[in-house]
């Protein structure tokens, strides 16, 4: 989970979905059908991040020992700061589209191999490349770089996922299984949520303990918590590349993100 997109934290006056954030547009083809009609939530209360941010800071100050505090802070962030999982999904912004783009690539690969991916993207020369080579080649399609922090989070989530899956890096792209593609998609979605949460309430991660082992423990605990929620959501919704209906990628992605946020919200109720 990288930290290059972290800042000093969102202030309370920041809208739940920033005013500059337009609904994602389809950058490649009509394969992705994106709903454009839902309302942008109003500005939240000025102190809406205070309680979850305080809990998250106390978790960090415990050097990762108070894991219940991290779960409470994330639960409060989703339920109280954002007003529930639906708003949490919307706040991901560009990460929704990048995840949908990636899911569409997985669907094309499963249904027609590398030639189908090349046709979908209107590019050539993917034949014979390894998985990591292809993922790097198509980065600008998966995550168009518009320069905003929101798009930066989506791009970093994808790039970090490439680095975090060395077990599939050198496999020929056309040999990737559905499970391997899902693993990569899970990593990307996990990284997007991690970055969004830490930018909103986890700014103290910038000042992690000097003890690198403790710092790694904290980052690993948060990543594992979110990864588990994403994995459980994908399992619960029976998501596989072969069962994604055409033009439904963004809908499926939103359902996975929402279910994961529901899971993360519910864990605070058990503490």
Average pLDDT over residues 236-244: 92
pLDDT of residue 180 exceeding 70, the answer is: yes
CA separation for the pair 229, 254 (Å, rounded):
14
Contact criterion met (CB below 8 Å) for 186 and 234: yes
Q: Closest Cα to residue 219, out of 9, 59, 49?
A: 59
For 57, 64, 102, 108, the CA distances from 67, given in Å and listed in that order, are 12, 6, 32, 40
pLDDT for residue 34 is more than 50:
no
Helix (H, G, I), strand (E, B) or coil at 157: helix
Contact (Cβ atoms closer than 8 angstroms) between residue 70 and residue 225: yes
For the residues 181-210, what does the mean pLDDT come to?
Answer: 87
> What distance in Å separates the CA atoms of residue 11 and residue 48, rounded to the nearest whole number?
9
Is the pLDDT at 198 greater than 80, yes or no? Answer: yes
pLDDT at 264 over 80: yes
- Alpha-carbon distance of 5 to 2, in angstroms, equals 8
- Give the pLDDT band (50/70/90) at residue 108: very high
Structure confidence at residue 167 (pLDDT): 95
Helix (H) or strand (E) holding 185: helix 178-200
Across 100-106, average pLDDT: 95
Asked if residue 205 has pLDDT above 60, the reply is yes
> Does the pLDDT at position 271 exceed 90?
no
Which of the 8 DSSP states describes residue 34? Answer: -
Q: What is the mean pLDDT of the chain?
A: 83
| Gyration radius of the chain over CA positions | 18
Q: Which of 29-43, 53-67, 89-103, 247-261 has the lowest mean pLDDT?
A: 29-43
Q: For the chain, first and last CA: distance in Å? A: 25
For 57, 89, 102, 105, 245, the CA distances from 31, given in Å and listed in that order, are 42, 21, 12, 10, 10
Q: How confident is the model at residue 247 (pLDDT cuts 50, 70, 90)?
A: confident
pLDDT top residue among 76 and 246: 76
Highest mean pLDDT among 11-20, 28-37, 118-127, 137-146: 118-127
């Amino acid at each position: 989970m990288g930290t290059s997109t972290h800042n000093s934290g969102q202030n309370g006056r920041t809208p739940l979905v920033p005013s500059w954030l337009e609904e994602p547009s389809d950058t490649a083809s009509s394969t992705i059908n994106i709903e454009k009609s839902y309302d942008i939530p109003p500005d939240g209360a000025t102190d809406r991040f205070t309680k979850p941010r305080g809990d998250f800071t106390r978790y960090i100050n415990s050097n990762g020992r108070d894991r219940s505090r991290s779960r409470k802070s994330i639960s409060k962030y989703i339920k109280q700061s954002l007003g529930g999982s639906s708003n949490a999904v919307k706040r991901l912004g560009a990460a929704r589209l990048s995840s949908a783009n990636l899911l569409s690539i997985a669907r094309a690969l499963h249904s027609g191999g590398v030639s189908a991916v090349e046709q979908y993207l209107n590019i050539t020369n993917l034949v014979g490349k390894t998985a990591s080579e292809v993922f790097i080649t198509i980065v600008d399609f998966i995550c168009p770089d518009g320069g905003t922090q929101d798009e930066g989070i989506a791009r970093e989530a994808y790039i970090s996922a490439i680095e975090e899956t060395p077990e599939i890096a050198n496999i020929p792209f056309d040999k990737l299984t559905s499970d391997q593609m899902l693993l990569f998609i899970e990593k990307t979605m996990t990284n997007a949520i991690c970055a969004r949460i830490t930018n909103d309430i986890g700014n103290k991660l910038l000042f992690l303990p000097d003890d690198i082992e403790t710092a790694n423990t904290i980052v690993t605990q948060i990543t594992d918590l979110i990864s588990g929620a994403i994995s459980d959501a994908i399992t619960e919704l029976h998501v596989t590349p072969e069962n994604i209906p055409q033009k439904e990628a963004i809908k499926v992605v939103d359902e996975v993100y929402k279910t994961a946020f529901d899971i993360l919200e519910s864990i605070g109720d058990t503490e």
